[in-house]
Amino acid sequence: MPTPVPTPVHDVVIVGGGPAGSSCAYWLADAGWDVVVVEKKHFPRVKTCGDGLTPRAVRQLADMGLEDALAGSHKYGGLRAYGFGQSLEMQWPEHPNFPNYGYTITRHDLDGLVAERAVKAGATLLPGTEVVAPLIDEAGSTLPHLKGVTIRENAAGGGRGASGGGKDRELLARYVVVADGANSRVGRMLGTNRRRDLPLGMALRGYYTSDRHDDPFIESHLDIRDAEGNVVPGYGWIFPMGDGRVNVGVGLLSTDRRWKGVNTSHLMDAFVNWAPESWGLSPATSLGPPTGGKLPMGLSVGPRAGANVLLAGDAAGTINPFNGEGIAYGYETGRLAAAALGHALSGEGPRALADYDRQIEAAYGPYYKVARAFVRMISNPQAMKLCVGVGMRSEFIMSELLRIMANLMRPDAPGPAEIGFRAMELISRLLPDEVAALEAASAGASGSG
């Protein structure tokens, strides 16, 4: 009888090959570890997004050796903000750690590039394969201890309802990273939860053809109006793609007490009507119906670490509440997870995973606390009008605010943004999230009554 071949035990299995999963795989493979990424779709694949890369995201891509690969994408220099009748153009700031430019690139093109880079560095990618369940070894104090995951090859290589094509099989690993995005089915199977008292975003985007497709600024609209000129809850964006198209979207935050009653498709229609005519947005230039998704933000999902499991990216709620940016934080948290796993695999064991949790808290905790307090404040229409009205009169104030909101403050040269942020931090310390959430809820209850 032939001797049975033992099932290999990989160093790390990663669930999901988006920004968080692929960056984690790249950094692990680059350090020489045996890492497998399980991705339910085949690259290139469509992913609903605004397609905007800020200087933070560009820095991470450059560190992975991918900046040259962005050469054909649209490079832009800053943000144009519109609000209450004013508009301002702000360049990305000079910063010792980040470039002063960003790119727009579809996720269709971007995500495959990073996954391919991880494979070049030595990672194994299993495309068109879904993790259908975690293989739980034993319960843990935060998350269960896993021996790996159960995977299934998708019949048509991805898409809802496509699973069930292949036979289930076990993929064994010493450590597992959950990077399966905003809905994080696998995370929830392990017992993760999103804190409902913290903000959640919801956004919708569509593509339009536009003569201004190569505009040097991405554009953000802080107030959007309906056909009668009334302010509607939410914000809008127009991101030039440089390929004949613009990415147009609207977003809404759960901290806005009008959130529940909003139909996002109507919000999108209102924005398309309201947007400056020069963009040429209309049903005739639309390239198809918009699609949307959730934005778990402000470190609202946890636990993030167990004895041999880590969560990264949207699965851990790492989107920046200030600006809805999640790609850079996917890359960064994937990289932090890889570093922690490197220590764990080198002999430190589970202690290194607890360090990951602490590092995430140290890197983003205080900043996101301020961001959460800020978005709660501006979700009040009067406060929003006051802030935007004052800010939009001064390019200086808005440029400093941009540095805060894009997380581009300088530890080496404290200026107005850093001082302003410290003040915001002190105020947010006096107002714990729970109190703010209760206040918002009771304001909502009295407002609607």
Give the interface segment with ligand FAD, choosing from 263-271, 292-300, 302-310, 370-378 (CB under 6 A).
Answer: 292-300
Give the interface segment with ligand FAD, choosing from 77-85, 219-227, 323-331, 359-367 (CB under 6 A).
Answer: 323-331
Q: CA 319, CA 394: separation in Å to the nearest integer?
A: 28
Q: CA 217, CA 70: separation in Å to the nearest integer?
A: 17
Q: CA 119, CA 115: separation in Å to the nearest integer?
A: 6
Q: CA 200, CA 383: separation in Å to the nearest integer?
A: 19
Considering the complex, what minimum distance in angstroms separates the CB of residue 204 from ligand FAD? 6
Give the interface segment with ligand FAD, choosing from 71-79, 89-97, 320-328, 383-391 (CB under 6 A).
Answer: 320-328
Give helix then strand counts, H and E, for the chain: 11, 21
| 293 binds ligand FAD, rule: CB under 6 A | yes
Q: CA 254, CA 256: separation in Å to the nearest integer?
A: 5
With a CB cutoff of 8 Å and minimum separation 6, the contacts of 167 are 152, 153
Q: Which residue, 160 or 260, has its beta carbon nearer to ligand FAD? A: 160
Q: Are 152 and 166 in contact (CB under 8 A)?
A: yes
Q: Which of 36, 118, 143, 179 contacts ligand FAD by CB under 6 A?
A: 179
- Which tokens go with 362? 């140290």
Q: Which residue, 15 or 310, has its beta carbon nearer to ligand FAD? A: 15
Considering the complex, what minimum distance in angstroms separates the CB of residue 90 from ligand FAD? 17
- Which tokens go with 13? 């299995």
Q: What is the DSSP letter of 4?
A: P
Q: CA 68, CA 62: separation in Å to the nearest integer?
A: 8
Q: Which residues, in sequence order, are bridge partners of residue 349?
A: none
Q: Which residues, in sequence order, are bridge partners of residue 151?
A: 131, 169
Considering the complex, what minimum distance in angstroms separates the CB of residue 27 from ligand FAD? 14
With a CB cutoff of 8 Å and minimum separation 6, the contacts of 219 are 79, 80, 81, 82, 237, 238, 239
Cis peptide leading into residue 276 (ω within 30°):
no
Q: Which residue, 131 or 222, has its beta carbon nearer to ligand FAD? A: 131
| 206 binds ligand FAD, rule: CB under 6 A | no
| 153 binds ligand FAD, rule: CB under 6 A | no
**# binding residues, ligand FAD (CB under 6 A):** 41
Q: Which of 81, 113, 125, 131 contacts ligand FAD by CB under 6 A?
A: 131
Give the interface segment with ligand FAD, choosing from 46-54, 221-229, 370-378, 398-406 (CB under 6 A).
Answer: 46-54
| 19 binds ligand FAD, rule: CB under 6 A | yes
| 48 binds ligand FAD, rule: CB under 6 A | yes
| 345 binds ligand FAD, rule: CB under 6 A | no
Give the interface segment with ligand FAD, choosing from 175-183, 187-195, 344-352, 385-393 (CB under 6 A).
Answer: 175-183
| 173 binds ligand FAD, rule: CB under 6 A | no
- Which tokens go with 369? 């606390």
| 159 binds ligand FAD, rule: CB under 6 A | no
35-39/124-127 β-pairing:
parallel
| 187 binds ligand FAD, rule: CB under 6 A | no
Footprint of ligand FAD (CB under 6 A): 15-21, 38-41, 47-52, 130-131, 179-182, 185-186, 203, 205, 249, 292-293, 295, 313-315, 319, 324-328, 330
